[in-house]
């Protein structure tokens, strides 16, 4: 089923890009030996899968809340690699922008549809 929600489409794109970024971040954690190999790679893969799954789940209202949780998970990685803070700030900024602007565009589209196609009045007869 296709959605016409701009916010949903943009959120899915951001989460997909975050999954790719986190794949490389997991390799950095592994390469810097910030964690042992298994937790670095398995944990990184789990977060990547969670981000990709979240990209699909934004079709539900609670999927956006899960997206906020995932932003927190990415921010928490600054404990392991402090430079991830820069990446986290960038992606959280993009996420906030998508949530605000995407919702505004969806409201404008809905208002335009209401003006172009007003509900039909029921005549009593």
- The b/e string for 80-93 (b: 16+ C-beta within 10 A; e otherwise) is eeeebeebbeebee
C-alpha 106: how far from chain center: 17
Q: Token pair for residue 52?
A: 């990709």
Helix (H, G, I), strand (E, B), or coil: what is residue 125?
Answer: coil
Nearest to 78 by CA among 68, 89, 69, 70: 89
CA dist., res. 14 & res. 95, Å (int): 7
The pLDDT, as a whole number, for residue 1 is 44
CA dist., res. 84 & res. 52, Å (int): 19
Measured CA to CA in angstroms, residue 22 lies from 14, 91, 121 at distances of 12, 11, 53
The pLDDT, as a whole number, for residue 123 is 59
Each residue's pLDDT, cut to its tens digit, for the chain (125 residues) gives: 456 899 999 999 999 999 999 999 999 999 999 899 999 999 999 999 999 999 999 999 999 999 999 999 999 999 988 999 999 999 999 999 999 999 999 999 988 877 776 667 555 55
The pLDDT, as a whole number, for residue 119 is 66
Nearest to 64 by CA among 36, 31, 98: 98
């Amino acid at each position: 089923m296709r959605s016409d929600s701009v916010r949903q489409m943009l959120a899915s794109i951001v989460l997909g890009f975050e999954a790719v970024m986190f794949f490389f971040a997991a390799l950095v954690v592994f390469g810097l030996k910030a964690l042992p190999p298994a937790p670095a790679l398995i944990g990184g893969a789990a977060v990547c899968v969670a981000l990709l799954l979240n990209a699909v789940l934004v079709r539900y209202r609670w999927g956006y809340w899960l997206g906020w949780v995932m932003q927190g998970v990415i921010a928490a990685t600054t404990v392991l690699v402090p430079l991830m803070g820069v990446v986290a700030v960038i992606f959280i900024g993009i996420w906030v922008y998508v949530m605000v602007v995407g919702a505004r565009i969806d409201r404008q589209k809905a208002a335009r549809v209401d003006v172009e196609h007003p509900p039909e009045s029921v005549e009593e007869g």
